[in-house]
Structure 1
Amino acid sequence: MITVLFTASYLIMIYEDLSNKLMLRRMLLGIHFIGILYFVELFNASHLMFFFYAAYIIPYVFQVKKKSIEVFMYIIAFAITIFIIAMNHRDYLLFMAPMSVVIILVMLGNFKLLESKKLQDEIRNQNEHINTLIAEQERNRIGQDLHDTLGHVFASLSVKSELAMKLIDKDVDKAKEEIASVNELSKEALMKVRSIVDNLKIQSFEEEIMSMHTLLDNANLLFEFKNADRAQSLSPTKQSALAMILREAINNVIKHAGATKVIGELIEDENGLSMIVEDDGKGMKKVGNDDFQSIKKRVHALNGQFDVHLLNKGLKMTVTLPRGDETL
């Protein structure tokens, strides 16, 4: 009877959805543990191995936390089983003691793996959300670019072509001038369309650094950036996001710092990737909660960390991105 109940409780816990049946779940788990105690007491200590079952069922099937009633029941049943072995099956104790450690480590390891998987799922969902936001931002930017750059061009084309049609029978030379103007406007529109298409291409972080060099050269600022190639460990989306953070930090330096030099660096370690940007400007008296809000939002969207350090001359900003799945 005990064997049948033990087997039935195990199968029900495995195959039935007990997420909303709290009492039934705990009752079945209790029957499972009573069966193990029965087998150990009346047969031999090797039945302690059945605790491997619950070591997988509790974290993966029940999806409970480490500080749950189910885990508490597991620990109590396990401790009682070890006590029974120590009292009645001492010949097995030398072998079962290290196996007990292994079972507990498996239990804790399963919880750790499950937490890691949940964290990876959260990171994946955040990345999908970031990709959606970036795509939406790009659509808005493209729409605005098309409206700003091509709207007036096509309006002019329409007006001039109608004027040329009216003049073609009255003033041929004037009509030719209007047609030539239409031709120039069409070429201008083509160039603007090509420019918009070129801007749609996502640049790598290293390409953005080259653009930064040009920007700061025009602003008469010396710019040095080390280890930009380490950004290759980032996905293209995160490279683009990190480049926007760098560009915003550089714009702040140009507008407010009064600096002569900006130095940047990428540092990669086991925890993730850090970008450091340092200038020799006038700095700040103190950093308030309302400062660098735009950069903070971008970093938060990447689940990263943003720090600002006041120097004797200038500021040092550090952006740290945690290590993700296959790429940062």
Structure 2
Amino acid sequence: MNFFKRYIAMPPQYGLFPYVWLIFLLFPIGYAFPYQTVKQQAIMGLILIFLVAYRNGYVASRYRTFWIILQMVTSAILAVIIQAFYLNIYTAWVFGSIPMRRRSFWRYYYAYLLSLIIPAVTLYWYYGGHMGRDDLIGLMVYGLFCIFSPFAASSIQRFNRKNRQLTQTNQRLTDMIKQNERQRIARDLHDNLGQSFSMITLKAEYARKLLAKKPDAVPEQLLEIEQASRQNLKMVREIVAGLRQVTVAEELINQERNLSVAGILLLTKNEDQLEGIPQQNQQVLAQCLHEAVTNIIRYSQATECYVAFNRTATTFQMQIEDNGRGLKSEDQYKSHGIVGMRERLETIDGELMVDGRRGTQLTMTVPLKMEGRA
């Protein structure tokens, strides 16, 4: 396995594309079979050199230019010998996929065009008189495909890199949320419980001293200790209750990870509308979002999930939609998940509307009472 990763495998950040192109090597390999003549053996040798240069073009960093130029040269020679122009596409995807400066990209691109033009002119010189109209049209279409392939490869890899960066950003946000929550808990414990327990300790020591000198004053101290203990218990319950509260934004981060594992793309709209929504409403909406996404993963057979938010002067609305198989009318009232969402929303005077005709669309509307207002 280590040998494969070190000498054969392509870098994982480029995905499966480098392996897909290898299928086309079956054509020149088949052309060279059974490898008995000098020409067939030379063709097979060039294919092996091309394959090594192709792999090292992705992997190498210090000598990358050498491997890419070697790949261009061997592909040009094979194009002249066996008309294997398709091998140039390999080179296009190699330097098009690798992150590099714009100036370096254009240098590779001009060299790449040269590796296309030389064999094309050579073959046209020898066989141009035998080419019909269809052959020339096909050659022009293939030429355009070769010319634009590096830009297509570069575009796809930029998109993939942005997705990886977005995933990493989401992971960092998740870690920041967890860290902030730990700091909040530590602050509450230190500022509130720590001070209260210190006071209980002092009163207990004072009561022990009074037990020998003024026994009648001890019950009063014990009562204050009891009251402080009850206050601490209430404070602990409040901290635990705070731990169980989840905002809609936090739930979106959690559910995006679950949907990704299930192969479902999450798209959101107007997340900024969540700002200022009361924690009680956010808690209920987050629970409904959790239940809705669970149902989408289990039953919908969807590939995309859309979550949109909308706010008016008096209401806040969260809409969850998927492109799955939909929901029957009778299931809208029998489904335990939907019944549970309705019950949760009723606790904050909200309502749920269900549309299962094209996919499933859940619209949750709650009255809007901004935090800090009467």
Which of the residues 291, 300, 313 maps onto 1:224? Answer: 313
Matched, 1:49 2:93: no
Provide the rounded CA distance (Å) in 2 between the counterparts of 1:69 and 1:5. 28
User: Which stretch of structure 1 is more off in the superposition, 7-16 or 182-191?
Assistant: 7-16
Residue 313 of structure 2: SS of its match in structure 1? strand
TM-score, normalising length: structure 1: 0.56
Instruction: Write the deviation string for residues 211-248 of structure 1: whole angstroms up to 9, x where unpaired.
Output: 599xxxxxxxxx83765525999xxxxxxxxxxxxxxx
**Contact 1:13/1:57 (<8 A) preserved:** no
Report what 1:24 is aligned to. 66
Alignment of 1:157-196 (within 5 A): 157-196=200-239
Q: Distance in 2 between matches of 1:149 and 1:54?
A: 66
Rounded Cα–Cα distance in structure 2 between residues aligned with 1:208 and 1:95: 61
Q: Establish whether residue 203 from structure 1 lines up as the match of residue 203 from structure 2.
A: no
- The aligned counterpart of 1:74 is 112
1:6 aligns with 2:95: no
Q: Return the alpha-carbon distance in structure 2 between the equivalents of residues 130 and 227 of structure 1.
A: 25
Alpha carbons of structure 1 residues 53 and 207: separation in structure 2 relative to 1, 3 Å: closer
Counterparts of 2:73 and 2:168, CA distance in 1? 39
Shift of 1:147: 1.6
Q: Quick check: 1:209–1:228 contact (8 Å CA) kept in 2?
A: no
Give yes or no for the alignment of 1:116 onto 2:154.
no
Q: 1:77 to 1:5 in 2, by over 3 A?
A: same
Deviation at 1:192, TM superposition (A): 1.4
Measure, in 2, the Cα distance between the counterparts of 1:65 and 1:231: 42
Q: Is the 8 A contact 2:92 2:153 kept in 1?
A: yes
Q: Normalized against structure 2, the TM-score is what?
A: 0.50
- Tell me what 1:260 maps to: none
State the shift of 1:133 in Å: 3.2
Query: Does the 8 Å CA contact 1:9/1:31 hold for their aligned counterparts?
Result: no
Q: Secondary structure at the match of 1:12?
A: helix
Q: CA deviation at 1:157?
A: 0.5
1:68-123: CA deviations, max 9, x gaps? Answer: 42222112222344444555342332323223333444443221110111111222
Number of residue pairs matched by the alignment: 219
| Post-superposition offset of 1:208 | 5.3
Q: CA deviation at 1:146?
A: 1.7
- State the identity as a percent: 18
Q: 1:207 to 1:25 in 2, by over 3 A?
A: closer
Q: Which amino acid aligns with 2:144?
A: V
In the other structure, the counterpart of 1:35 is 77
Match of 1:140 among 183, 188, 205: 183
Aligned to 2:346: none
2-side partners of 1:153 and 1:98: how far apart? 81
> Aligned to 2:246, what secondary structure does the other structure show?
coil
Provide the C-alpha distance between the structure 1 equivalents of 2:234 and 2:275, rounded to a whole number of angstroms. Answer: 22
Corresponding residue number in structure 2 for 1:127: 170
Distance 1:188 1:208 in 2: 30
> What's 2:285 paired with?
none
Aligned to 1:59: 96
Indicate the residue corresponding to 1:277 in structure 2: none
Q: 1:24 to 1:119 in 2, by over 3 A?
A: same
Q: CA deviation at 1:190?
A: 1.5
Distance 2:48 2:196 in 1: 77
Report the 3-state secondary structure (helix = DSSP H, G, I; strand = E; otherwise coil) of the residue aligned with 2:318. Answer: helix
What is the one-letter code of the residue matched to 2:76? Answer: I
Go from structure 1 to structure 2 and tell me whether the alpha carbon gap of 1:35 and 1:65 turns closer, same or farther (over 3 Å shift): farther
Residue 185 of structure 2: SS of its match in structure 1? helix
Aligned CA-pair RMSD: 3.4
Measure the CA separation in 2 of the matches of 1:231 and 1:186: 45
Counterpart residue type for residue 112 of structure 2: Y
Q: Given the superposition, is the C-alpha separation of residues 212 and 187 from structure 1 closer, same or farther in structure 2, using an over 3 Å criterion?
A: closer
Change over 3 Å in CA distance of 1:207–1:194 after alignment to 2: farther
Q: Give, as a single letter, the amino acid of the residue that structure 1 aligns with 2:111.
A: M
Whole-angstrom distance in 2 between the partners of 1:99 and 1:129: 44
Counterpart position of 1:96: 139
Gaps of 5+ in 1: 214-222, 234-328
